[in-house]
Amino acid sequence: MEYSERLKKLPVQFFASLVEKVGKAIAEGREVINLGQGNPDQPTPPHIVKALQAAAEDPITHKYSPFRGIQELKNAAAVFYKKQYGLDIDPATEVAVLFGTKAGLVELPMCLLNEGDLMLLPDPGYPDYLSGAVLANVKYQTFPLKVENHFLPDYNAIPVNQREEAKLMYLNYPNNPTGATADRAFFEETVAFAKKHHITILHDFAYGAIGFDGKKPISFLEVEGAKDIGVEMYTLSKTYNMAGWRVGFAVGNPTIIEALNLIQDHLYCSLFPAVQKAAAVALTDDQQCVDKLVARYESRRNVLMNECRKIGWDVQAPRGSFFAWLPVPSGFTSEAFADYLLEKVDVAVAAGNGFGEYGEGYIRVGLLVDEELLVEAVDRIGKLNLFSK
């Protein structure tokens, strides 16, 4: 048997190769500090775990869930958006329950585009955006996120033919991998651009809770007219350390929400009802656990930045997410530097070129280990004498 042409065209899973390299080093008995991962290191808050336990004991949750998710979770998503962003969301028509937002990100091109249509993707960007384009058998072009523009796209630099042809565009702020954030003015510009060129917007709000220096990230949907042309996807993975639970949701334009619900009618019979009930508790209960988590990441960020600067590494502090985007020293490519760190000092990082052409020249570091390990990792790197103090 042969794989289908569609499967053959899928991009190589970047993170799988990273895990393989780190796993090999650990198997050799080396004490690796893994800063390359994007997996939250803290446990899910106890009250959410207890909500799951209680729900799992109820026999009603052992049955099939409604195809489009339980109303309790949809209501919770609407309440959450009202409290956090002041937005009115209709839980009946403007919320789609997702098997983690990765599923929604991959599904959306199949929902809205026909074979050969064009979508626009950020570079650098989350690698699995490409998977959605390939599985939908559509074309894609990337737009660069450059440091001189604060890692925001320059819409005027997108070629005119691409602006006119494109039907779907992905954005992601706070951004993975750069840690950049977007302000209201940028989202207003985005809505105007999308309406002018008839482009649908998907805003990947995976790190929506994680903003630093007293600045809370804003929702794309807070801007007037955003709901006319787009949706936002929110995962519980980062906000509540629920990565393994695989639960998220999309909110926004009713037509797009219906499209997501329709494709999922044919792919799934929704996710375990007890998980949905626990997710509803996470969204509507006290959010102090989120405040503490963000404070932890900000403290780690500050430690990392201070330590890097001590060894002469010219770094810029991320404004959001739990990643730092660090320039590689001269004489190295991104991948060569990442391999060098793993080989010489047992520090694992993610090479920037794994996130796209414009990721070259950077590495991504996760703020997902204790501060002591961040200090140790930078100390090891400093002993390589790659930077001038």
Rounded to an integer, the average pLDDT of 268-295 is 96
Distance between alpha carbon 285 and the CA centroid of its chain, in Å? Answer: 23
Q: Is pLDDT larger for residue 57 or for residue 15?
A: 57
Q: Is the peptide bond before 40 cis (omega within 30 degrees of 0)?
A: no
Q: How confident is the model at residue 15 (pLDDT cuts 50, 70, 90)?
A: confident
What confidence score (pLDDT) does residue 158 get?
A: 97
% of the chain residues with pLDDT over 70 = 100
Residue partners of 336: CB distance under 8 A and separation at least 6? none
What confidence score (pLDDT) does residue 389 get?
A: 60
Residue partners of 387: CB distance under 8 A and separation at least 6? 311, 312, 313, 314, 329
Whether the predicted pLDDT of 13 surpasses 80: no
Whether the predicted pLDDT of 14 surpasses 80: no
Cα–Cα distance for residue pair 102/90, rounded to 1 Å: 23
Strand order in the sheet with 139-144: 95-98, 248-252, 230-235, 200-204, 166-171, 118-123, 139-144
Three-class DSSP category at 202: strand
Q: How confident is the model at residue 388 (pLDDT cuts 50, 70, 90)?
A: confident
Question: Is residue 229 within 8 Å of residue 253, measured between CB atoms?
Answer: yes
Second-level CATH architecture of 64-284: 3-Layer(aba) Sandwich (3.40)
Question: Is residue 121 within 8 Å of residue 106, measured between CB atoms?
Answer: no
Rounded to an integer, the average pLDDT of 266-284 is 95
- pLDDT tens digits for range 142-165: 999 999 999 999 999 999 999 999
DSSP letter at 307 equals H
Cα–Cα distance for residue pair 205/101, rounded to 1 Å: 9
Whether the predicted pLDDT of 70 surpasses 90: yes
Q: How confident is the model at residue 269 (pLDDT cuts 50, 70, 90)?
A: confident
385: tokens are 């004498």
Rounded to an integer, the average pLDDT of 272-278 is 98
Strand spans (E) along 63-213: 95-98, 118-123, 139-144, 166-171, 200-204
Whether the predicted pLDDT of 82 surpasses 70: yes
Question: Is residue 32 within 8 Å of residue 22, measured between CB atoms?
Answer: yes
Cα–Cα distance for residue pair 344/319, rounded to 1 Å: 30
Range list for CATH 3.40.640.10 in the chain: 64-284
Q: State in words which class domain 5-44+288-382 has.
A: alpha beta
358: tokens are 């414009």
Residue partners of 23: CB distance under 8 A and separation at least 6? none
Q: How confident is the model at residue 304 (pLDDT cuts 50, 70, 90)?
A: very high
Nearest to 349 by CA among 2, 24, 124, 38: 38
Query: In the chain, how long is the greatest CA-to-CA distance?
Result: 64
- pLDDT tens digits for range 339-367: 999 999 999 999 999 999 999 999 999 99
Question: Is residue 153 within 8 Å of residue 144, measured between CB atoms?
Answer: yes
- pLDDT tens digits for range 27-66: 999 999 999 988 999 999 999 999 999 999 999 999 999 9
371: tokens are 């501060």
Cα–Cα distance for residue pair 383/389, rounded to 1 Å: 12
Work out the mean pLDDT of the chain and round it to a whole number: 96
94: tokens are 């403007």
Global pTM reads: 0.96
Range list for CATH 3.90.1150.10 in the chain: 5-44+288-382
Nearest to 85 by CA among 225, 234, 221: 221
Cα–Cα distance for residue pair 190/227, rounded to 1 Å: 12
Q: Is the peptide bond before 144 cis (omega within 30 degrees of 0)?
A: no
DSSP letter at 329 equals P
What confidence score (pLDDT) does residue 317 get?
A: 97
Q: Is the peptide bond before 177 cis (omega within 30 degrees of 0)?
A: yes
